[in-house]
Structure 1
Amino acid sequence: MKHFWTLALLLILFGCDSDPENRNPFLQEARFRFELDLNLPLYNNLNTIGNPVYVGNAGVGIRGAFVIRNGIDTFLAFEASCPNQTPNECSTMEIEGQNVVCPCDGLTYSLFTGQLLNRPDDGNRYFDLLFYRTTQSGSIVTISN
């Protein structure tokens, strides 16, 4: 039994991924919590699936966040700063339908998956959108990191 617990502990320790390679070097972690009231006209688009909203309030992410309803009771939120650029004057992305585009490099990302849609085939590493947690309680959607 002693060997079982030793083996289990070793599996847990070595099973954890501490690889800094997975971390986006362009974007710092921004701790925040922000509530959106779906009853307000500002967030009215979120009452329909597939209509994104930009939340540019101070203290929300690095450059704000994009929020989209992707199901009846589910929402997704992503950082509004280009994931493959150091934050600068052109690195706040712009909504184009259900995608966002980085004006610095022209890269397009899906707001339904967060994935880069036009990934260059140049051998460089490219990051997808930075994801934020969302929860819903009644008409309040909370985004946080």
Structure 2
Amino acid sequence: MAPLLCLAVTLTTACNSASDDAQPQIPLAAVSEVLFLTDQQNSNLRFDNGAVYHKGGVRGLIIVRQSASSYLAFDRNCPYQPLDTCARLKIDPFLRLYDPCCQSQFSFQGQPQAGPATRPLRQYNTALSGNTLTITN
């Protein structure tokens, strides 16, 4: 029985020390947003790799057009040190998303490309019906 107890203590200690080194997760937020693609403020979504800001999520949303029938929606909260007040993504006109606070850069598919961030951006579900894009989690 003693070897089994020793194994349980070792595993618990190993798991606790591993979680201490992990970055905190982006807080959860309920997302249920509707975008009308014909609205002037969404004109960047009329071409591939166009991106716009929208309300919702933890620190706002970034919507990216992949093609005429495919859109991606990401939380603007950077996954690297997401609790920092400045961890908010911006759209760079040179086809990337970036966090000016930690200098992390992400592709328009939400994957980390440079900087300290190693996690992808939090992505939300999108559904297109005519000229209406619905974003949910």
103, 106, 121: which one aligns with 2:103:
106
Q: For residues 69 and 86 of structure 1, what CA distance do their matches in structure 2 show?
A: 25
Deviations 1:1-30 (A, max 9, x none): xxxxxxxxxxxxxxxxxxxx8xx7330121
TM-score (norm 2): 0.77
4+ long deviations beyond 2 Å: 86-89
| Alignment partner of 1:88 is 2:84 | yes
Q: Which has the larger share of strand? A: 2
Aligned counterpart, 2:33 = 34
Q: For residues 101 and 134 of structure 1, what CA distance do their matches in structure 2 show?
A: 22
Find the residue that maps to 1:45 and give its secondary structure: helix
120, 136, 145: which one aligns with 2:128:
136
Identity %: 30
Q: For residues 40 and 83 of structure 2, what CA distance do their matches in structure 1 show?
A: 30
Find the residue that maps to 1:70 and give its secondary structure: strand
1:1-145 matches, within 5 Å, as: 25-55=24-54, 57=55, 60-97=56-93, 98-111=95-108, 113-118=109-114, 120=116, 126-145=118-137
Check whether the contact 2:124–2:136 (CA below 8 A) recurs between aligned residues: yes
Q: For residues 72 and 130 of structure 2, what CA distance do their matches in structure 1 show?
A: 16
TM-score (norm 1): 0.73
